[in-house]
Structure 1
Amino acid sequence: MSVGLRLNSNVLKSFQMGRVLKDNSKEINSLDFSRDGDWLVTASDDESIHLVNCNKGTMDKELFSKKYGVNLIRFTNHNSAVIYASKNESDDSLRYLSVHDNRFIRYFSGHRDHVTSVAMSPNDDTFLSAALDQCIYLWDLRTNTSQGKVGVIGKPQVAYDPQGDVIAVASGINVVKLYDKRHLDGGPFCVFPIDLPSSVDFTHVKFSPSGKLILLSTNDNIILLLDAYKGNRVADLTDFVHDNSTINIEASFTPDEQYIVSGSEDGSIHFWDIQTKQKCNVLKGHAGPVTSVQCNPRFAMLASACTNLALWVPTDRSQ
């Protein structure tokens, strides 16, 4: 696979399933690529964690978190460790796990309700967690004491900008707030109200690779694209299937920031051109709802998940 491939319509239309891994008995609820693109980690409702070698397209390791379940899994800035939230209702702590030797390094306790979002800083050892207890915590992997706390309303989602300096908080009152990571207690420096029905909740928030755009996934048949500086809506993406509000579908940017990609309840994967705001490709192959779709940060590879994990690669590499 080539590094730094710039996508175009021909490349997108040539994506095919290179590998399908059928190692899970229940739905995959989250996935994440390592920063160097060599590894992919998945978490499943069957309480398993799978480490996938992206160069080989094979599962390298299977670990279990049977007591508390596993959800919202994220690589740290080291390929040998991950953080994740509990899936079961009996515990709301976050766990820092060495996947090298299947050893818990640290626990992070503070939340009093289900964790809804986890985000790892792109440039240091801090990470964010948000929960239904209407709290957002800033953590440092080196200590189990929180480094900051913000109160919110609703079902919050969090993200770092690409430099790790700005924190975006999308809350259940249909508003996006931007905070300076160094001054969380000072409140947001930008507030962007979003005109949406009260029944719509945000399920994911992401900055684009340049930091100029913000992507908002919801529990409804709409994905929002915002200008990260002004807060205005750049695009509303609606032509995909998301009728069941209990299913969280995650949209993502491609690494070259040319396209947005999302799964769909009908098992398809949709691409939209950011410049034209038009759909430009649909991939089919999953038997169930595609809840997670992410692009490898370095290689021409797409990962998508239902109960199975699919790794897509292009046959056309023209640029």
Structure 2
Amino acid sequence: MLKPFYSGRDRVTWRGFYGGIDKIPSQTLQILEGHKDEVWFLEFSHNGKCLASSSADCSVIIWEVKLDGRLCLKHKVIGHEEPVCFVSWSPDDSQLLTCGLEEVVRLWDVDSGECIRLYEKNGLGFISCGWAPDGERIFCGVTNKSISMWDLQGKELRCWKGHRITKIADLGITSDGKQMVSLCKNNVILLVGLESKTEKIIVEDEVITSFVLSPDGKYVLVSLLNQEIHLWSIDGVIKLVHIYKGHKQERFIIKPCFGGLRQAFIASGSEDSQVYIWDRCSQQLLRKLAGHSGTVNCVSWNPANPHMLASGSDDQTIRIWGLNPANVMKHNDEGAVSNCVGDCHCRT
């Protein structure tokens, strides 16, 4: 049985101060239009001050969250020659890893927008990347069915390969740095004990398209082609604890996320162009957010703001969802008024 994520007192606080279901992001506050092709990946920084987005147009955009809650373009970084399928923030949010599809991994300085390191292997490409919690090492999924660990200077420190490792599409390191999590077959997730040298597996009956680790490193959220999302506990005994249904996913890779106060919600995109939000414990579908005109490939919940959710779509846009927009947006009959400074590539 899954342990509740908040106590009775916490529940009262959540419903009282935060307003319960009425405080779930449900209104489009902004539409960001900096990409020229499908948006494949989104991730807020740990401090919630920036959002990184990647696209089939081979670009990555770093968006800055202003004090008033609006997002404006900080840097558009160019350098990849293939669509960018993966981004990962350093633990201190000062650097960003980006992975071109079966290409290279680049390391960017967030303040300057400059590329400071290139990670590559002769004749091979990368398809995922992630950070060790100490911020001193990175991990890369490689097209030869291996995983490489590098120091920040570009020296490969270790490589995992063998019959268990398949073409890695997702990769994660638990927050305590003790486990590396990756796909090892179409329906199997491999958990490698980095200190204990042990291996555990999660076996699904259907094809896995993506997974994401919970911030505390105790759970894995698994997206499947049978239109279900499974929540697995990996803290000790591995077990399936919850199943979320209702969204549409039969063809494409769609990346869900944890979010909200105390990570109390699960969000996912969908092939019907909507964003779905469930209660994490009850598995109840709480919201369907309409607005995109193409498949919603990815969602990211701001870890510092339980009322801010971002979604990226095949329609080439990013939507920022929040509460009642009356206090943060101004409308007129001729179009939207933007308070952003410079070339922010957004509209309200």
Bucket of the pairwise TM-score, normalised by the shorter protein: 0.7 to 0.9
Alignment of 1:98-109 (within 5 A): 98-109=109-120
Measure the CA separation in 2 of the matches of 1:249 and 1:82: 22
Instruction: Say which of 296, 310, 315 aligns to 2:319.
Output: 310
Measure the CA separation in 2 of the matches of 1:65 and 1:217: 30
Kept in 2, the 8 Å contact 1:42–1:51? The answer is yes
Secondary structure at the residue paired with 2:263? coil
Residue 128 of structure 1 and its aligned partner are, at CA, apart by 1.7
Q: Which amino acid aligns with 1:133?
A: N
Secondary structure at the residue paired with 1:73? strand
Instruction: Say which of 270, 273, 289 aligns to 2:295.
Output: 289
Q: CA RMSD in A?
A: 2.5
Residue 219 of structure 1 and its aligned partner are, at CA, apart by 4.3
Q: Are residues 145 and 66 of structure 1, via their aligned partners in 2, closer, same or farther at CA, if it must alter by over 3 Å?
A: closer
What residue number does 1:148 align with?
158
Residue 53 of structure 1 and its aligned partner are, at CA, apart by 1.3
CA deviation profile, 1:47-92 (whole Å, cap 9, x unmatched): 22212111232222222225344331222234443111123x5xx3
Kept in 2, the 8 Å contact 1:262–1:271? The answer is yes
Q: Are residues 217 and 33 of structure 1, via their aligned partners in 2, closer, same or farther at CA, if it must alter by over 3 Å?
A: same
Alignment of 1:70-109 (within 5 A): 70-87=84-101, 92-109=103-120
1:204 is the counterpart of 2:210: yes
Q: Which amino acid aligns with 1:251?
A: P
Q: Are residues 240 and 114 of structure 1, via their aligned partners in 2, closer, same or farther at CA, if it must alter by over 3 Å?
A: farther
Instruction: Say which of 66, 73, 78 aligns to 1:64.
Output: 78
Q: Are residues 44 and 7 of structure 1, via their aligned partners in 2, closer, same or farther at CA, if it must alter by over 3 Å?
A: farther
What residue number does 2:34 align with?
23
CA deviation profile, 1:166-210 (whole Å, cap 9, x unmatched): 222232252233223345xx342x333x1314xx1x333222233
Measure the CA separation in 2 of the matches of 1:101 and 1:213: 35
Measure the CA separation in 2 of the matches of 1:166 and 1:195: 20
Measure the CA separation in 1 of the matches of 2:130 and 2:225: 19
1:216 is the counterpart of 2:222: yes
What residue number does 1:170 align with?
183
Kept in 2, the 8 Å contact 1:111–1:131? The answer is no
Kept in 1, the 8 Å contact 2:100–2:127? The answer is no
User: Matched residue pairs, number?
Assistant: 299
Residue 95 of structure 1 and its aligned partner are, at CA, apart by 1.2
Kept in 1, the 8 Å contact 2:26–2:322? The answer is yes
TM-score normalised over the length of structure 1:
0.84
What residue number does 1:259 align with?
265
Asked which structure has the greater CA Rg, the reply is 2
Measure the CA separation in 2 of the matches of 1:114 and 1:238: 35
Instruction: Say which of 227, 246, 249 aligns to 1:239.
Output: 246
Q: Which runs of 5+ in 2 are unaligned?
A: 1-13, 326-348
CA deviation profile, 1:214-248 (whole Å, cap 9, x unmatched): 1112345222211213222212323211122xx21
CA deviation profile, 1:70-129 (whole Å, cap 9, x unmatched): 331222234443111123x5xx32111224334322222237555332222344222222
Deviates more, 1:296-305 or 1:132-141: 132-141
Residue 164 of structure 1 and its aligned partner are, at CA, apart by 2.6
CA deviation profile, 1:253-283 (whole Å, cap 9, x unmatched): 1152211110001111111112112212111
What residue number does 1:249 align with?
254
Measure the CA separation in 1 of the matches of 2:295 and 2:125: 23
Residue 287 of structure 1 and its aligned partner are, at CA, apart by 0.9
CA deviation profile, 1:127-147 (whole Å, cap 9, x unmatched): 222133210112222x21222
Q: Which amino acid aligns with 1:74?
A: S
Q: Which runs of 5+ in 1 are unaligned?
A: none
TM-score normalised over the length of structure 2:
0.78
